[in-house]
Structure 1
């Protein structure tokens, strides 16, 4: 059992969950496109967390848990070639643009 407590992110950190819903018939394509973002995003300076989940009871609905050191790191992420390539496909893969739910730590 891993009992290590992760270090607290910096006070400037931005943490959010992106809600991404596949168009009918596009679940696998969206999953593949999102999965392709993970490795290069982890390599970005300022990326603290970037993890993909799919709702167990709603296949095709994905949550990307994201945390970046600050707004500049998030802006840099949005400008990367791998993210821009994904963004160019949003209309064909998703029923609506991603919804970003910003989170505030409570404890």
Structure 2
């Protein structure tokens, strides 16, 4: 069984760029959720700190994640250079059997 790739990423927009980042992330969501290997791609903007966003991503396997990173729209998002800092972690869901 292939291991799902689950990530939680905290992103801080560059000063005065939060609204631009929000628009860019919304465009990224629209494309990413159509990928066959994307199981979850949700983004949350923090209520009290509009410059902070949390991404919750789940891809069916490592290959799906790698393919996502090679998509033109993903590269375009990163090329916009709207992010000041990123803190991410990969995790495994615990389930009761």
Q: Same fold by TM (over 0.5)? A: yes
Q: Could you list the runs of 5+ residues in structure 2 that have no partner in the other structure?
A: none
Is the aligned partner of 1:102 residue 2:87?
A: no
Question: Offset at 1:99?
Answer: 2.6
TM-score by length of 2: 0.90
Post-superposition shift, 1:55? 1.5
TM-score, with normalisation over the residues of structure 1? 0.82
Which consecutive aligned stretches of 4+ in structure 1 deviate over 4 angstroms post-superposition? Answer: none
TM-fit CA distance, 1:11? 5.2
Of the two structures, which has the highest relative contact order with CA contacts closer than 8 Å and spacing of 6 or more?
2
Long gaps (5+) in structure 1: 1-9
1:81 aligns with 2:67: no
CA RMSD, 1 decimal: 1.4
SS at match of 2:84: coil
